[in-house]
Structures are given as C-alpha cells and as structure tokens.
Structure 1
Amino acid sequence: MEDSQKENTASKVYRAEEQHYSALANRRQDTAYDQYLNSFIKLEDKRYLPNANAINQLVPLRAAVGTVVMTPTQFRGVHFSPLGTCFNFSELGVSNDPLIMALVAREQPNATKAISTILFVSTRDSRGFNVSGYIDFEQSLRRFRIAGSKSHPWADIFAGRRRLEPNEQDLSFITWSNGRLFSNDSDNYKVVPDALKGLCFSHKGDGSMLSIEKYITEEHPLCKFIESPKHGSTVVYDHHVRRKT
C-alpha cells in the first residue's frame, strides 16, 4: 500500500514537470514566431494599423512578391525539430522507471532548446566495471537519430530494453577500474576544468558557466538525484537557456 502511494506521488511529480517544461517550450516557440513576423513589419504598418494583432494578421498579405510567410505550424517544423523527425523517441514506448519518467518530461523541451539537460550517470557497464560520466542529453538524442548505433540507443533505453551507460564520446567519462578519463566538448557545452570549482561546463548558446559538481554537492534546486533499479545513480541537471539580448 505504501509503495503504491509512493509510485502515485512520483508519477504526479513527473507529470507536473512534463507540463511545466512543455509550457516553457510552447512559450519559447510563440515568442520566436512573433519575432519572425516582426521581421516583415514596416514602419508605416505601425503608423496606420491599430494594434499588434491587426499587424500580424496582415503580414502574410503584405509580404513582398515571391516571399512566403510561414504559418506557426510550418515555422515550428523548420526551426524546432533538432531531432529531424516528427516524433520523440519516448513516443515509441517507455518503461515505468523513475529515471525514464524524468527523461520523458525533458525530451521535448531539450529538443526545442527551452532547457539543456546534463545527466551525471554512475553505474556498471556491460562488463561489470564501475563507470561514470556526464552526458549532454539533447546532443545524445540527436546523435542517435543521425548515427544510430554509434550513440546511446535511446529508443531501447526509453522502452527498458537497454541500460543508460556513459561512454568515451560523452562530455566526461571515467572507468574507475583503471582510472582512464575522457572529456569532449559537445554541440551545447565546452568542458572547462577549474582547479577551485572542479569540472565546469560553459553553455555555448548563452555563455553561462555551470559548475556542475558544486551544484550537485550543494543540492542545487535545478539538480534532481534519481536512484533507478535498472540504471543506477543519476543526477539530472536542468539549465534554463537564456536568450541573448
């Protein structure tokens, strides 16, 4: 009975997170589309039309000959589909696992660049060795779509058929049995070792310097510690991408 109540509470938390990040992504897309429409607006439009709604409705009619003004749906399809598909991997089926539930809530917001999630995974690899590493979630999703087996097999991970294991291609990776350490810049982050702050990542999009190890140690509110029976210990860090002004 107690376990059932815990599962229900966890499910409500993950649903709330999914709704929050989905709303965040939608607001970001709406803002981007408004900026796109504004690029077609002329000075005389603002002088003679009564309000912004009227201006936006007339933009497609006032575009120069040969210019096509995209609808909101067309705009989202062109500018907010980093995975290159019309579906998310989680839509192919998910397992009832605490880590997977958390990643499902973050898949679409990462794909649309509303947030940028770094995963710290500590587990055993297929040979039984203790390994840990930091994974750029958005890049890993996109690489699997492009390169398939050369990246983390997200379709199988979401479905519960495979375990999530960091590897030498990720932001940072260490095999504890021999102390071998690897680090790589990703499309979203530059790896910045710091003698005082520890391992840091600089977000290439907004320039933020993220001291991940400090956030984990101090239990930063944007960090979530998740124990998964299948995937081991994981820390999920969400960076809210700031728009450059």
Structure 2
Amino acid sequence: MNRNLKASPQTEADRRLLQYENYEHYLDSLGTNQDECYLQSVEVARQVAELGYRSSGETLSREQFEKRLAAVYQYLFPPYTPYHATSEGMIKDDPLKIELALRERSNRVGILSTIIFIKLETRAGYEISGYLDYGDKLIVEDWKPIFVGRKKIIGT
C-alpha cells in the first residue's frame, strides 16, 4: 500500500455517499415526505429527484453515483498487494545488510521507518553524505542486487 496516498478533494467530498445503501436511498434523501404525499408514488418521487428538481446542488446519475462510491471505497480500502522479500537469498557478509533484511518487512508494511545515513569519501578527498528513507527506497528501487552483493548501497 502506498503510504503517501492522498484523497482528491472530490473523493473527500464523496465520502458522504457512504451513508447510502444504494442509489435509491440516495434519491430518497433528496426528496421530502410531501413529494411522496402529492405524487402518490415513491418511484415518481425518485424520478423527480433524479431529474434534479429536488436538489440545490448536483444530482448524480446512477452511473456517477456508483463510480464515485467505488472511488471512495478504493481509497478507503485499497486492495492488498503482496510483496516478495528482496532480502531472501542474501549473502550474509555485511552487518548492515543483515540489519536491513531484519527491518525489510516492517518498513514495507509501514510499521517501522528506517533512515539510513551514508557517508562516502571521494578519491579527491571530498566527503559526500546523505540520508535514505529505506521504506521509500524499497518501493521505488529493486534492492535484490544489493542484498546478493552485485551492487553497493551508495550506488542507489
């Protein structure tokens, strides 16, 4: 799951649609008791509401209602995406790799945040340093070559 996922303003506004069991309940919420009394039919009252006569704002069509409600559900309950541990089959030659392998799952699922500080001295004698957010790097880069020894962490 993407931890940085943010809802659009439209999705936030459409959260109100969660209170309705279906499209008919949504239309019923737009009408009044007087509509049913005068029109003598729930179906006719729903048709009047669907045409937009009972709302001061936008009245959604069935297709719009279902599409927007699906977007809200998709945001609130994203599908589970399994992952493959990139540290499987790693060469246990480096204490740093061992510690990162132990933290991989917790960083992937968002339980733990690990910041890696890297410091490198160039041949010219300059010092270069920086920080890596391990959880984000696991998402955007393949760490398998690092764990099996084909690539160094500073090369990411």
Q: Which structure has more helix as a fraction of its residues?
A: 2
Fold conserved between structures, TM > 0.5: no
* Larger fraction in strand: 1
TM-score range, shorter chain: 0.3 to 0.5
When normalised by structure 2's length, the TM-score is: 0.43
Please say which structure displays the higher CA radius of gyration.
2
